[in-house]
Structure 1
Amino acid sequence: MSTPRFLTLPPGVRRTDIETSRGAFAALEAFPGSGISERGPALLIPGFTGSKEDFISVLQTLAGAGRRVITLDMRGQFETPGPDDASAYGCAELGADIAAVIESIGDPVHLVGHSFGGLVTRETVIGDPALVESFTLMSSGPAAITGGREVEGRVLLSALPKVGLEHLWSTRMEPEVLSKGVAPEIVAFLRRRMFMSSRSGLLGMANELLSCADRVDELAKATDGAGVPVLVLYGENDDAWEPQTQALMAERLGARKVVIPGAAHSPAVEAPETTASALTAFWNDAERT
């Protein structure tokens, strides 16, 4: 579960709604200080139990390089409503939502998917690589999640229908956050975000995260054929998909690889300046190419 460094929006960042053919999505939007975007837009997609606020620490820096930067809550996450049907939260449906958002933006984007968001956004890219200027998989993997995060997912999937979210939060989630010394105002935000998220969405996304098939070869074919540059970016201490697994995925994709020193599963939170610098350099290179 990510913990943004701060929740106050920095200058040049505003809350908005992105209207699309598949509904409205709560978003944060950042512009360069001049108000004029000189480079292609970027779209950042959060992971499971996450939200647009996970990128607050990098939005101002990314926009300062001369581009419009947008991040949003997927359907069922935090401030974007979603249907009361767990089957509506598969990667294919969520990926179609992201495609609709890009069509609403009106230009190809530099697309970033964090963790589960990477599994979602690769569906978007496989479906229509012309929608993207570049594609970044941030702390994501080739298929279903493994290790300790898999155990956590299976506990949630099994326990949520039986004991409810309040019990899970008070006995497992909140104690874990408090053990890391997270500030009280951040804990309050995380609780609010969790309880505003769709219960069906949590179940549907968890199931997808635990069962997602490997589509790396299909992604490589799509991006190679369309000439879309790909970046695999992750923290050196990632505790979701192992760093070695992500490195091998980068090789299969013929992708650039960036390892963020000192970061774990949320580089945009744990090392925002390094992460923003790596993304900006990759995006600028993609535009030059």
Structure 2
Amino acid sequence: MSTPRFLTLPPGVTPIRIETPAGWFAALEALPVSGVAERWPALLVPGYTGSKEDFLAVLQSLADAGRRRVIAIDMRGQYETPGPDDPAAYTCAALGADVAAVAGVVGEGEPVHLLGHSFGGLVVRETVLGGATKAASLTLMSSGPGAIVGPREQAARSLLGLVPEVGLERIWENHLEPEAMAQGVPDEIIAFLRKRIFANNLVGMQTMGEQVLTAPDRVDELADADVPKLVLYGEHDDGWPPHLQAEMADRLGAECVVVPGALHSPAVEAPETTAAALTRFWNASEHRFVQS
């Protein structure tokens, strides 16, 4: 579970609702505070049990680099985006199609930079493989080639096993809240985390959890996609092991950026470094498009 460091909206960042043929999605939109905005837009997709607020620390910096708009969304069934009680709506393929629908609206005919964090990376790769989106680039942030492994795999299995047995209330009171308090998370952030997890669609939460534990390796297919790719992760990532993400970057022929000191959420733990790396990669990707 990603933990935002603050919840105050930076200048130029506003909550919006994006209407698409697939339904509406809650989002945060960042627009440049000043200067000329000529760069293509970007769409940021959070991880399992995450939300658009996980990108708050980087939204303003990304937009102020001259990007027309930077959008972070809640996926279907996450936090402020509603979802049905139908497991089929929460497969990686279905969620990837949702992202394609959002990208079509966000881009307004222009290519869009796609970024997926953790489970969101498994989703946006489906968006690219689906071929219905004009992708300016693809960034896999703290994501992996397939099903998650390591400590977060065990945490996800425990969560999925406990939900039907004891319910979210007990899980929050006995596990998630004490962990947040032990990490020194401020009271207002803990209150937000509680509100967010209880707002998730329970069927969606179960199905997304199953997806992150069973996702197949699709790296070879993704390597054939003609789109610039970036693999970015924290030096001490406790999700997919760093060496596994480095190997994935090699297999993809992707650029690889390791964020010093960061764990599983570089946009939260090292926002300046992360925003600078993304801006550089996005600008270079656009330059390649112009040159080709």
Q: Under a length normalisation based on structure 1, what TM-score does the superposition of the two structures give?
A: 0.97
SS class of match (1:190) = helix
1:244 is matched with: 243
Q: Within 2, Cα distance between the matches of 1:250 and 1:13?
A: 32
Task: Pick closer, same or farther for the CA change 1:144–1:63 going to 2, 3 Å.
Answer: same
CA offsets 1:27-76 (integer angstroms, 9 cap, x no match): 00001113752110000000000000000000000000011100000000
Return the offset for 1:147.
1.1
2:92 is matched with: 91
Q: Which residues of 2 match residues 90-239 of structure 1 at below 5 A?
A: 90-105=91-106, 106=108, 107-128=110-131, 130-222=133-225, 226=226, 228-239=227-238
Q: Within 1, Cα distance between the matches of 2:7 and 2:16?
A: 16
Q: Structure 1: give runs of 5+ residues left out of the alignment.
A: none
Q: Within 1, Cα distance between the matches of 2:83 and 2:264?
A: 26
Larger mean CA deviation between 13-22 and 123-132 belongs to: 123-132
SS class of match (2:103) = helix
Q: Within 1, Cα distance between the matches of 2:220 and 2:25?
A: 30
1:73 is matched with: 74
SS class of match (2:224) = helix
SS class of match (1:118) = helix
Q: Within 2, Cα distance between the matches of 1:5 and 1:162?
A: 31
Return the offset for 1:80.
0.1
Q: Within 2, Cα distance between the matches of 1:280 and 1:59?
A: 11
CA offsets 1:133-188 (integer angstroms, 9 cap, x no match): 01100000000001111111111111101110001111111111111100000000
Q: CA RMSD for the aligned pairs? A: 1.0
CA offsets 1:194-215 (integer angstroms, 9 cap, x no match): 0011111110100000000000
1:32 is matched with: 32
1:285 to 2:278 alignment: no
Q: Which residues of 2 match residues 9-20 of structure 1 at below 5 A?
A: 9-20=9-20
Q: Within 1, Cα distance between the matches of 2:156 and 2:246?
A: 23
Q: Which amino acid aligns with 1:9?
A: L
Q: Which amino acid aligns with 1:240?
A: G
Q: Which amino acid aligns with 1:144?
A: A
Q: Within 1, Cα distance between the matches of 2:93 and 2:35?
A: 35
* Counterpart contact for 2:147–2:214, Cα < 8 Å: yes
* Counterpart contact for 2:103–2:133, Cα < 8 Å: no
1:7 is matched with: 7
Q: Within 2, Cα distance between the matches of 1:164 and 1:37?
A: 47
SS class of match (1:55) = helix
Q: Which amino acid aligns with 2:271?
A: P
Q: Within 2, Cα distance between the matches of 1:55 and 1:129?
A: 25
Q: Under a length normalisation based on structure 2, what TM-score does the superposition of the two structures give?
A: 0.96
Aligned length: 285
SS class of match (1:44) = strand
Q: Which amino acid aligns with 1:99?
A: A
Identity of aligned residues (%): 64
**Where does structure 1 differ by over 2 angstroms across 4 or more consecutive aligned residues?**
34-37
Q: Which amino acid aligns with 2:242?
A: P
Return the offset for 1:270.
0.2
Return the offset for 1:129.
6.9
Q: Within 2, Cα distance between the matches of 1:46 and 1:19?
A: 19
2:259 is matched with: 260
Q: Within 1, Cα distance between the matches of 2:98 and 2:161?
A: 27
CA offsets 1:203-248 (integer angstroms, 9 cap, x no match): 01000000000000111112xxx3x110000000000000000000
Q: Which amino acid aligns with 2:4?
A: P
Return the offset for 1:123.
0.1
SS class of match (1:175) = helix
SS class of match (1:142) = coil
